[in-house]
Amino acid sequence: MTDLSLPVRADLALANAMRRVRARWRTRMAVEGAVRVVAVLLCALLIMLAVVAWRGVRPGTIETGRLALWSLGALAVGWWVARPLLRTVDDARLALYLDEQDPAIAQTVLSAVRETRRPLAEQLSPSLTSRLAHSAVGALGRLDDGARVEAPRTRRALQQLGMLLLAAVVGVLLLPAPWRETARAMVLPGDALAVPVRRVSVQPGDVEVARGAGLDIEATASGFLPDAAELVLQADSSADLLRLPMVPDSTGTRFGIRLFDLLRNATYWVEADGIRSGPHQVTVTDLPAVRRLGLELTYPSYTGLSPETIDPGGDIAAVVGTRVRVRAHVTMPVQAGVLRFDDGTTEAMTLDPEGMPMQTFTVTRTGFYTVDLETLRGQVVPGTVRHFIDALPDRAPTVRITAPGRDTKPTAVEEVPVEIRADDDYGIRSLDLVYSVNGGPEQRVTLLNGARPGTVEPRAVHTL
């Protein structure tokens, strides 16, 4: 009975020792796999951030990047972590691995594993098998059940994993806030709307214009501040692209351009810092259009300015109260026209003897206006060009006493010259000096009266 029980106990001891070796091997494989997974995910995140920096954050960019990152992470975990852990490694292969890592144990473990796996009836000597098993257990004990083989590699992998995680944390903290938020949104689930989307929106989008008319195009950048913007035009009958620089406004996010004499259908879009708007279509139709505008400006009488004619014109810069007569030169006969202002008010235009719409309005505020036309069949053709109205305020005049320019105590027989300078944006017509002597009644002296129009900086001297 004793000879039969020894191999069983030796088998159990060897099996338990091999189980501990296998556990340490799996731990080391899992840690090394985690290093590879983290390295791959960090590289992928850096590549995605570089793509975002180049292409910009567009609708769906964050969601697509997050899906790609998670999918890559799942594949990496499955290949480098789950696959080694789920792989079946028998004792014989594990013994060969130990022999490769530590040749000092030679074939001891492998021989013992092969012998103990034989049926008891096929073993040459149970006592020999027991001695082989005990010898293998002793050899594994000298390796601390594989710890001396796996511990250095596991420790090195843990150090690499810690360095990668530390580098990731430091890198994220050093990123500017928008990029930090972008990286967070790609890695973690949540609302991607917190990341500003870089887009370019265009007005008026798809539009119909009359043949020969002009068109105002505006582009607005959101989520970034572009250095410049270009309008790209492609005529339907041509493969060539025409690039036109757009003019920025004071905010740096809005750009505008005006096209003239449109004769063919075209596709257009706007590009700014590599961000491209969607394409839009300009459809040219055979409808009446405004070829040019003629303006007659009648300024308020107090300005002393003569009436002014501007032809061709459009944009208006005039003092409040100026009367402006607008005459639209059209490409074909029309039934009527309408001046349409940006506040929603309109002024019906009448036809002059030449059939050109005209109307007069008073400048009261800063804004825009367009000219809508009505065809002979009653179809309304909206204006596609917005003209700017700059209502200039009439500033109050300023008056300065330039001499003597300070308090003074003259004697009773001393003469004191008083010099006065005035300034006004449209002219000074009269200038009076008001004074009192020793607290007496006020006295008034007229220094300038009925000056010619346009006298904007009069100078007068009165001697007391």
Low-confidence ranges of the chain (pLDDT < 50): 1-8, 192-193
Residue 455 is predicted with a pLDDT of: 59
* Amino acid occupying residue 379: Q
C-alpha closest to that of 415 among 462, 458, 455: 462
Residue 270 is predicted with a pLDDT of: 93
| SS3 state of residue 208 | strand
Instruction: Record the pTM.
Output: 0.50
Residue 7 is predicted with a pLDDT of: 46
Residue 395 is predicted with a pLDDT of: 78
| SS3 state of residue 162 | helix
Antiparallel, parallel or unpaired: β 199-203 and 230-235: unpaired
Residue 117 is predicted with a pLDDT of: 64
**Which one-letter DSSP state was computed for residue 212?**
T
Task: State how far the alpha carbon of 452 is from the alpha carbons of 26, 194, 305, 444, in Å.
Answer: 103, 64, 11, 22
C-alpha closest to that of 456 among 403, 401, 392, 398: 398
Q: State the residue for tokens 């014109």.
A: 313
Residue 387 is predicted with a pLDDT of: 92
